[in-house]
Structure 1
Amino acid sequence: SSSGRRSFESDKIKHGVFTYVLLQGLRGQAPKNSRGEITWLTLASYIIDEVPLQVPLLLDDPDAEQRPNLMGNLIRQPVLARLDVKPPLVKPALLRSPFTATEAGQAQRAWSDYLKIPERTTDKAGISLVLIPPGEFAMGSTQSERERMLRLFPSTKAEDYADETQHQVRITQPFYLSAHEVTVGQFRQFVSETSYRTEAETDGEGGYGWNEAEGKFEGPDVKYNWRNTGFPQDDNHPVVNVSWNDAQKFCQWLSRKEGQTYGLPTEAQWEYSCRGGTTTAWSSGDDPETLAQVGNVADGTAKAKYPSLSTIAAKDGYVFTAPVGRFRGNSFGLFDMHGNVWEWCQDGYDANYYAVSPT
């Protein structure tokens, strides 16, 4: 400071305010030229503008004032700092179905870099989350595909597929989706921390389960709930007998635990994530026998134990539920999107949704 000027020191920054601004400028806050260089003149201009703004803020004194003056100039402009200049990141383009696993991975990395968030992360409850990039896809089924399903699965009816009129849907924002179903162990942690009781445990009706003596699924029955399914499960199996309301309570618990908003995916988000850029009947292809490669479905393994079941011939190795993540993942790195157990979505069911919903 020149004679008669006051120098302000701040305990917050362990420097005088002038020195603090000077150092911040050299660290990259001062304007840079196209070569990433901070010159004498650009640094001086930054200091003259910034010090008067920072003094009252850093000193918590609205009346504090300091105004540096440029007392001279240099004939040449020496370079005081040279920083790496990186071109600004361009917002990634939307994926457009069909796309390959390579393109899906590239989009995940691009959005991860653009938003400075991880492609994959694990939360405090041990749930593995995968970043799903936004994109466009054809949601639902064509008429010819619905007719093909009727031929492949004679026990189904036309009305079973009547609500799947195909239309284009655009997912406009990236989101995180769990890599696989919520496990028994993760749900047990929720119950342990909150003393929550599921609707199957409290509504007087119960849930659904396997009656080994009669060789059939049955319910609702009060003896069945997420703890008792009638078939073997451990903490790595997907939790079942969880209602939509139970799932909402689980998401609310996660939101409080993580300080982030958790929720069920919309049906559009779920189908987009399940398809993973494919346009076939299933993400594994048009042949139902390929389902045994990507999920635990009604298959030859179950039919060998219970011959009356209608199944595909291929064997996935599991009669009932399989531990999560045991099959091949899809283009986004998601597991068990086909088979194992049904998943809840956030939005309610509407038989006319596909025909009238906007893009």
Structure 2
Amino acid sequence: MKLFFSLGHVSEPFLRWFGIGLIASGLGLPFVDLVGRAASWKPPVVVAEDAPVLRPELVIIPAGKFLMGSPEDELRRDADEELHDVEIAQPFAIARTEISQAQYLEVMSKRPEESEHCNGAGVAANLPIVCVSWFDAVEYCNRLSEREGLQVAYEIQGEDVRWDRESLGYRLPTEEEWEYAARAGTQTRWVGTDDVDAVCDYANVGDLSAKAKNPWAEWFKCDDSFPTLAPVDALEPNRWELFGMGGNAAEWTWDSYYGTYPDSDEGNPNRNVAGASPSAYRVVRGGAWWQAPRHARVANRRREVASSRNAFLGFRVARSLPSDF
């Protein structure tokens, strides 16, 4: 066995952006929190000899407030995007990229079961894993936590999944965390820009390259050079050094889907449960390699049944930080 003292890999560029300096990765070095003081929390991570070497690189996202949703005059907004104030009370960590096919296979040892909708997106180590159900994603989170000696975030009993909020293991981001991280302190229509012709700088979306392969939908007029999936770190990151938040694979979040935003966990007890049926709806965020401008907007919310698998659905992981971080 090997013993590491680490949160995992955390992005140094993000902390440079905040003017903070070096934060360490998996080499037993201390890290620095968002106010520049040495952090005392260095959890022991017990890793077996055959544990994955392709750990997700994590970026620490600061606590803060933001406007979630879209203004009423945003073109092609949907009724479920009511603009409202949200406070992220605790900092958290989120993967710099979507989970790649190599990362998924190293933990799960096999590809997800394919459905009839899982064709043509591409197969390569550095492409995002797609055709994963919500259940596949939470299982990956638990298995990765187990391999790194972390307390798992989810109690899984068949199709009933409960989130242990005290766990510091890998998990899916909440819908609020996802939009907060995607916006990165901005209020733009798409990740990184309000200019529809600049979307392809940041996101692999349904553009001119995709049109050559799928000429049957509405497209961006820009060109990101990828007709289907792109490498997880292709194109430009957002201001917080996160790649692919606006496109490539759409991403599962933890939350159940409601026609309006849930007010709180207390008011919506089912938010903490996947449901007794694989037909339970979960929230999907972010654009995808073949999707149109309206679906690539930062505020866009979509729902998919938890058991669905298709060629544009992937995920990224997150981790909670201790309350005194």
- TM-score w.r.t. length of structure 1: 0.55
User: Aligned AA for 1:264?
Assistant: L
Q: Is the 8 A contact 2:108 2:143 kept in 1?
A: no
Q: Which one scores higher on RCO, CA 8 angstroms, separation ≥ 6?
A: 2
Judging changes above 3 Å, is the alpha-carbon distance between structure 1 residues 318 and 170 closer, same or farther for their aligned structure 2 residues?
same
Q: Is the 8 A contact 1:324 1:335 kept in 2?
A: yes
Which segments of 5 or more consecutive residues in structure 2 lack a partner in the other structure?
Answer: 1-13, 22-31, 43-51, 151-168, 266-325
State the Cα distance separating 1:274 from its structure 2 match: 0.2
Give the stretch that moved more between structures: 284-293 or 272-281: 284-293
- Alignment partner for residue 146 of structure 2, among 249, 256, 260? 256
Partner of residue 176, structure 1: 93
Over 3 Å counting, the alpha-carbon distance change for 1:277 and 1:237 in structure 2 is same
Cα distance in 2, alignment partners of residues 231 and 141 from structure 1: 30
Q: Relative to 1, partners in 2 of residues 1:289 and 1:197: Cα closer, same or farther, differing over 3 Å?
A: closer
Contact 1:299/1:315 (<8 A) preserved: yes
State how 1:304-319 maps to structure 2 within 5 Å: 304-319=212-227
After TM superposition, where is structure 1 displaced by more than 6 Å over at least 4 residues in a row?
Answer: none
Q: Indicate whether 1:136 and 2:65 are aligned.
A: yes
Alignment check: 8 A CA contact 1:302 1:309 kept: no
One-letter amino acid of the counterpart of residue 258, structure 1? E
SS at match of 1:343: strand
Alignment of structure 1 residues 154-303 onto 2, 5 Å? 161-192=78-109, 198=112, 200=113, 206-209=115-118, 229-260=119-150, 261-303=169-211
Whether the 8 Å CA contact 2:192–2:239 is kept in 1: the answer is no
Q: 1 or 2, which has the higher helix percentage?
A: 1
Residue in structure 1 matching 2:37, options 105, 114, 121 = 114
CA distance in 2, matches of 1:233, 1:328: 22
Distance 1:263 1:102 in 2: 22
What is the aligned residue count? 214
Question: Deviation digits for residues 242-290 of structure 1, max 9, x if unmatched?
Answer: 0001101000011111223111000000000000011111232222221
CA 125–306 in structure 1, closer or farther in 2 if over 3 Å, else same: closer
The AA in structure 1 aligned to 2:36 is D
Q: Could you list the per-position Cα deviations for residues 76-121 of structure 1 after superposition, in whole angstroms to 9, with x for gaps in the alignment?
A: xxxxxxxxxxxxxxxxxxxxxxxxx999624796527336279xxx
Query: How far off its partner does 1:129 sit?
Result: 0.9
Once the two structures are superposed, the pairs formed by residues 48-63 of structure 1 within 5 Å of their partners are: none
CA gap 1:302/1:252 in 2 versus in 1, 3 angstroms: same
Deviations 1:10-31 (A, max 9, x none): xxxxxxxxxxxxxxxxxxxxxx
Q: Give the Cα separation in 1 of the matches to 2:76 and 2:33.
A: 37
Structure 1 spans left out of the alignment, 5+ residues: 1-100, 151-160, 210-228
Conservation of the 8 A alpha-carbon contact between 1:132 and 1:174: yes
1:324–1:168 CA distance, 2 compared to 1 (3 A): same
Q: Percent identity?
A: 36
Go from structure 1 to structure 2 and tell me whether the alpha carbon gap of 1:266 and 1:128 turns closer, same or farther (over 3 Å shift): same
Q: Name the amino acid aligned to 1:315.
A: D
Task: Give the conservation status (yes or no) of the 8 Å contact 1:187–1:239.
Answer: yes
- Whole-angstrom distance in 2 between the partners of 1:289 and 1:235: 30
The CA distance in 2 between the partners of 1:179 and 1:344, in whole Å, is: 15
